[in-house]
Chains A and B, each alone.
Chain A
Amino acid sequence: MDSNRSDRRRFLKHGAALAGLAAGVERSASGQSASSEAQLRSEAQPKDVHIHGDPSRFVTAGRGVKLRIDHMTYYTPLQDSAGIITPAALHFMQQHSSRLPDIDPQQHRLTIHGMVDRPLSFTLDELKRLPSVSRIYFLECHGNGSSMLHSTDDPKMGLPVQYIHGMTSCSEWTGVPLSVLLNEAGVQKGASWLVSEGADEGKFSHTLPLAKAMDDVMVAYAQNGEPVRPEQGYPLRLVVPGWEGPSSVKWLRHIKVVDQPYMTWNESMNHSIPRADLGGKSRWYHFEMAQKSVITRPSGGLKLPGPGFYEITGLAWSGGGAIRRVEVSTDGGRSWKDAKLQSPVLPKAHTRFTLDWTWDGEEAVLQSRCTDERGEIQPSLAELNKNWGITDVDAQKTSRAIHINAIQPWRVARDGSVHDAMFS
């Protein structure tokens, strides 16, 4: 199996140049700052690449990218993924602006205020003194797998499994349980929600029910054993396990405890979808990401060199708990076999599954479906559409573009090429 990534590499370089340009503008606008001096010093010395190691120059795995004036999206290369952990450098990124904040942790504060007895402010060092937890959780953009992505033809976005499903990633997050901070501040009677605000230019804000905040939400300062990276919210981000990505506010700086959902701009506009099954009304918040699985190899854009043995492998996850079962079909859903689940199988985390398969050289359609610990089974596209009151034609339009967890079929042609078969 091979994938043609030269276009993507070229674009990634181009993207890096653009980012450098933006940083240059920032520097000249702010005059000679401490950071620009540090930059000059570091430019004078050749960079020791072993201080913070780079992958081998022969490794070409990289994120797919889509850049817009008001949007940056980087897609995790799921076709190259192994195990369940996504390296921080390959974690997907969805940013509602064209620049990332560059935050000095010494200047950064997290405040807890609003309906609390004792409004408090924390530095990063203070947060690191508090009881910490490390937990493995997936984060998924609620637009992941959205129907319109199936018809994309931009090579910079990578391979199909990457740009259709690559807005899910899984990390070990370390930080302070939000319940610790809320208890320190003393939540007042009548409080029922909280609004979080990031320090990015768009002041990304999201509302959470207090019950979830007190349950398993973390204020994370580390990801996979290192400080959270700038694109993931350095120095602090919320991690809201199992729930739609936007809840996990990055560059977290303010948490305001309130008594009703605030429906901030992103929540009311981008993140609510008019639904036919609700008479054209939009639901406020969908919260949980449902059970979902996808075969990552073989997947669209890859090519099998010839008949013979292949291990089918993929990922399954559910916002509702642990994955209990993954079934794989190699004949378009006529028959299903239980896949092996690799340890560890954790709640609200990616779970790796595999199935031995010998390709006979004939056309085949590969797909997986998962069941989570609640017994919820991943729906087919037809079942999903029925539930949302839409047709297949609607499903291919942008109007219904969030929380798609339908079964993903990949068609293996007789020449070994693999194609997205969701709508064909």
Chain B
Amino acid sequence: MPCFLRRVLKRGTDYSVPSRKVLISRARIGVDRAVCPLFLLVPAMILAAPVVGLAQSRTYNVGTPLTQEEIKGFDFIVGPEGKELPPGRGTAKEGAEIFAKKCAVCHGKNGEGGAVQRLVVGSPGNPHRGPFKDTEKSATSYYPYPTIAWDYINRAMPANKPGSLTHDEVYSLVAFLYYRNGIIQESDVLDSQSLPKVEMPNRSGFVPAKPVWPPDPKKPSWY
């Protein structure tokens, strides 16, 4: 084994993704060995397998299976590609009205900041491309993906009534913020198709995480 690999393995800091087989065997070694009833459960599961179908690979049969319908009812996290974005639409003009009513009290009239962090740096037509210093980091211009603001506003805003905004309202608010940050035009319509395609000005301002970027054995771990 090459020296650096040994070191990485020993330090346990390489979080590159192992195969599913490795993951499962690793977890079993760590946990199942301590579980006495397992040897009793396994024959029972083999017997039951033809009857219950998929259940044969559940070791404990504890917990309730979820239907896709149930998952739709709570799965609101939206990833970078926007696959989970729901239908709806909005523009900056519509967003301006909602922002004035529900957001400006904390974030300032045009998102410049107030009781809480600012949301805007740059101006319409003039996006800020960095470097981002201190308070500029809270502006939507800083985020690597266009979907992040949508996801957070949808799940967590406004702070006194999170989850109360309609999907149209969320698309509109994001359009307003992206317009004020100079990222889109005032007339642009944001929806589940157009939002993920918005080009973020700071998209190249990040260095990927370790799992796609193995640690450099020449640098200390706290690098």
Partners in one complex: yes
Bound-state CA distance A265–B64 (Å) is: 30
* Count of chain A residues with a beta carbon within 8 Å of a chain B beta carbon: 78
Question: Are A211 and B58 within 8 A (Cβ)?
Answer: no
Question: Are A70 and B205 within 8 A (Cβ)?
Answer: no
Question: Are B148 and A256 within 8 A (Cβ)?
Answer: no
Interface 9-mer from B95-103, B133-141, B170-178, B186-194: B133-141
Complex interface: chain B residues within 8 A of A192 (CB): 17, 211
Bound-state CA distance A288–B65 (Å) is: 34
Question: Are B133 and A399 within 8 A (Cβ)?
Answer: yes
Binary A-proximity of B77-121 (CB < 8 A = 1, otherwise 0)? 101100000000000000000000000001000000001110000
Q: Is B123 an interface residue (CB 8 A)?
A: no
Question: Are A214 and B23 within 8 A (Cβ)?
Answer: yes
Q: Is B43 an interface residue (CB 8 A)?
A: no
Complex interface: chain A residues within 8 A of B149 (CB): 265
Q: Is B142 an interface residue (CB 8 A)?
A: yes
Q: Which of B15, B58, B70, B132 contacts A184 (CB 8 A)?
A: B58
Question: Are B60 and A130 within 8 A (Cβ)?
Answer: yes
Question: Are A122 and B62 within 8 A (Cβ)?
Answer: yes
In chain A between 13 and 68, which residues have their CB closer than 8 angstroms to a CB of chain B?
none
Complex interface: chain B residues within 8 A of A260 (CB): 79-80
Q: Is B50 an interface residue (CB 8 A)?
A: no
Question: Are A180 and B144 within 8 A (Cβ)?
Answer: no
Q: A118, A201, A268, A403 — which one has the most chain B CB atoms within 10 A of its CB? A: A268
Beyond A177-B27, A254-B74, whether A374 also contacts B10 by CB under 8 A is: yes
Q: B130, B148, B222 — which one has the most chain A CB atoms within 10 A of its CB? A: B222
Q: Is A407 an interface residue (CB 8 A)?
A: no
Q: Which of B26, B31, B65, B162 contacts A180 (CB 8 A)?
A: B31
Complex interface: chain A residues within 8 A of B116 (CB): 69-70
Question: Are B17 and A202 within 8 A (Cβ)?
Answer: no
Question: Are A254 and B75 within 8 A (Cβ)?
Answer: yes
Bound-state CA distance A69–B207 (Å) is: 32
Bound-state CA distance A184–B55 (Å) is: 9
Question: Are B130 and A280 within 8 A (Cβ)?
Answer: yes
Beyond A288-B221, A387-B223, whether A210 also contacts B148 by CB under 8 A is: no
Q: Is A323 an interface residue (CB 8 A)?
A: no
Question: Are A179 and B31 within 8 A (Cβ)?
Answer: yes
Binary B-proximity of A175-190 (CB < 8 A = 1, otherwise 0)? 0010111111011010
Interchain pairs with CB closer than 8 A, number: 215
Closest Cβ neighbor of B220 among chain A residues: A376
Beyond A195-B77, A268-B143, whether A280 also contacts B205 by CB under 8 A is: yes
Complex interface: chain A residues within 8 A of B65 (CB): 118-121
Binary A-proximity of B179-191 (CB < 8 A = 1, otherwise 0)? 0000000000000
Question: Are B57 and A265 within 8 A (Cβ)?
Answer: no
Complex interface: chain B residues within 8 A of A180 (CB): 27, 31, 59-60
Q: Which of A121, A189, A261, A376 contacts B66 (CB 8 A)?
A: A121
What is the minimal beta-carbon distance from B139 to any residue of chain A, in angstroms? Answer: 9
Q: Is A301 an interface residue (CB 8 A)?
A: no
Q: Is B54 an interface residue (CB 8 A)?
A: yes
What is the minimal beta-carbon distance from B62 to any residue of chain A, in angstroms? Answer: 5
Closest Cβ neighbor of A193 among chain B residues: B211
Beyond A69-B115, A117-B54, A184-B59, whether A387 also contacts B222 by CB under 8 A is: yes
Bound-state CA distance A397–B133 (Å) is: 11
* Count of chain B residues with a beta carbon within 8 Å of a chain A beta carbon: 72
Question: Are B23 and A265 within 8 A (Cβ)?
Answer: no
Question: Are B66 and A113 within 8 A (Cβ)?
Answer: yes
Q: Is A321 an interface residue (CB 8 A)?
A: yes
Closest Cβ neighbor of B115 among chain A residues: A69
What is the minimal beta-carbon distance from A51 to any residue of chain B, in angstroms? Answer: 32
In chain A between 189 and 214, which residues have their CB closer than 8 angstroms to a CB of chain B?
189, 192-193, 195, 197, 201-203, 205, 209-212, 214
Q: Is B206 an interface residue (CB 8 A)?
A: yes
Q: Is A282 an interface residue (CB 8 A)?
A: yes
Give me the 10 closest cross-chain CB pairs, A-B, nearest first.
A290-B222, A179-B27, A265-B152, A119-B66, A120-B63, A203-B155, A284-B209, A285-B209, A280-B131, A209-B15
| 25 CB < 8 A contacts A-B | A117-B54, A118-B54, A120-B63, A129-B60, A183-B24, A192-B211, A209-B15, A210-B23, A211-B16, A214-B27, A256-B77, A261-B80, A263-B145, A264-B151, A265-B143, A268-B145, A274-B132, A274-B133, A280-B131, A283-B206, A320-B11, A320-B12, A374-B11, A387-B222, A397-B134
Contacts A203-B156, A268-B144, A282-B132 aside, 14 further interface pairs with beta carbons under 8 A come to A121-B64, A179-B30, A186-B57, A187-B20, A211-B16, A254-B77, A274-B137, A280-B205, A287-B15, A320-B13, A374-B221, A387-B219, A387-B222, A387-B223
Which residues from chain B sit less than 8 Å from chain A, CB to CB? 10-13, 15-18, 20, 23-24, 26-28, 30-32, 34-35, 54, 57-60, 62-66, 70-71, 74-75, 77, 79-80, 106, 115-117, 130-134, 137-138, 142-145, 148-149, 151-152, 155-156, 159, 162, 204-211, 219-223
Which residues from chain A sit less than 8 Å from chain B, CB to CB? 69-70, 97, 111, 113-114, 117-122, 126, 129-131, 133, 177, 179-184, 186-187, 189, 192-193, 195, 197, 201-203, 205, 209-212, 214-216, 254, 256, 258, 260-265, 268-269, 272, 274, 278, 280-285, 287-288, 290-291, 320-321, 374, 376, 379, 384, 387, 397-399, 403, 405
